[in-house]
A and B are shown apart, each in its own frame.
Chain A
Amino acid sequence: GNSVTQMEGPVTLSEEAFLTINCTYTATGYPSLFWYVQYPGEGLQLLLKATKADDKGSNKGFEATYRKETTSFHLEKGSVQVSDSAVYFCALSLSYGGSQGNLIFGKGTKLSVKP
């Protein structure tokens, strides 16, 4: 079936450290891929997206590249800030069939950034 696997958290980093959160997926067809962020007490917000192979999504210093050959969409940031502390979700959306428009999520990775 279709699924998303994220690295287990929590991840604790010092401010200005490099961040990588791994995400791999299994899907039939050609999914779109997303990273969402959830700050404490809030709903999910889109962080970035990619809709086809080799696309790179970027926003607020975060980047992720859609790698079809490795079925991966790893999230990276060169220098994290305390304000980046949140839970990050990788997700995919299928483009055909009855599940169109619905997201399949990973379990989330909690990031804590210390000053």
Chain B
Amino acid sequence: NAGVTQTPKFQVLKTGQSMTLQCAQDMNHEYMSWYRQDPGMGLRLIHYSVGAGITDQGEVPNGYNVSRSTTEDFPLRLLSAAPSQTSVYFCASSYSSRVVAFFGQGTRLTVV
């Protein structure tokens, strides 16, 4: 019972580089989301998906892309990293709008 698995745990990027943060869940949840956590800001929603093939923007989507080709996976792509994207990223999944989200352990990203 792995739950929500995020990789990598840590990453350092140079400005302008691209990368993909991986998120996988083994609970057959329909809803998956990406959040970023910044000091004093709480968690803010980047993108979310209500099922395979369906994605939508959250509060802070600029600079990020997502896709959902399977129920299990929901990768987050940074197209051209910027220092403002230095943050801790959390992936979450839920099976219902009223049921608690399960969180991954987070990816700490630094853009230099």
Interface residues of A in 24-38 (CB under 8 A from B): 32, 34
> Is B12 an interface residue when CB atoms closer than 8 A count as contact?
no
How many residues of chain A get a CB closer than 8 Å to chain B's CBs? 25
Assuming the A-B contacts A32-B98, A43-B106, are A103 and B31 also in contact, with contact meaning beta carbons closer than 8 angstroms in the complex?
no
Q: Which of A67-96 contact B (CB under 8 A)?
A: 89, 93-96
Which of A42, A51, A89, A99 makes the CB contact (< 8 A) with B43?
A: A89
Cross-chain contact B90 with A107 (CB below 8 angstroms): no
- Knowing A42-B105, A89-B42 are in contact, say whether A103-B92 is a contact too (CB < 8 A): yes
Does residue A98 face the partner (Cβ distance < 8 Å to B)? yes
Q: Nearest Cβ in chain A — how far from B106, in angstroms?
A: 5
Q: Is B25 an interface residue (CB 8 A)?
A: no
B61 to chain A, nearest CB (A): 13
Residue contact B45 to A102, C-beta cutoff 8 Å? yes
Known: A100-B31, A100-B50. A49 touches B42 (CB 8 A): no
Chain B residues within an 8 Å CB radius of A42 = 105-106
Contact residues in B for A102 (Cβ distance below 8 Å): 31, 33, 45, 48, 58
Q: Are A95 and B97 also in contact (CB < 8 A) when A100-B31, A102-B33, A103-B43 are?
A: yes
Q: CB < 8 Å: which of B35, B42, B90, B101 contacts A106?
A: B42
Answer whether A101 and B100 are a contact pair too, CB < 8 Å, given A106-B42, A108-B42: no
Number of interface residues of B (CB under 8 A): 26
**Nearest B residue (CB) for A46:** B100
* B75-95 with Cβ < 8 A to chain A: 90, 92, 94
Known: A102-B33, A103-B43. Is A51-B56 also a contact (CB below 8 A)?
no
* Residues of the A chain whose Cβ atoms lie less than 8 Å from the Cβ of B104: 43
- A101-B101, A107-B42, A108-B42 provided; 16 other pairs, C-beta below 8 A? A43-B106, A44-B90, A49-B100, A89-B42, A89-B43, A94-B97, A96-B97, A101-B30, A101-B50, A101-B96, A102-B58, A103-B45, A103-B92, A104-B45, A105-B42, A106-B42
Residue positions of A touching B, CB distance < 8 A:
32, 34, 42-46, 49, 51, 89, 93-96, 98-108
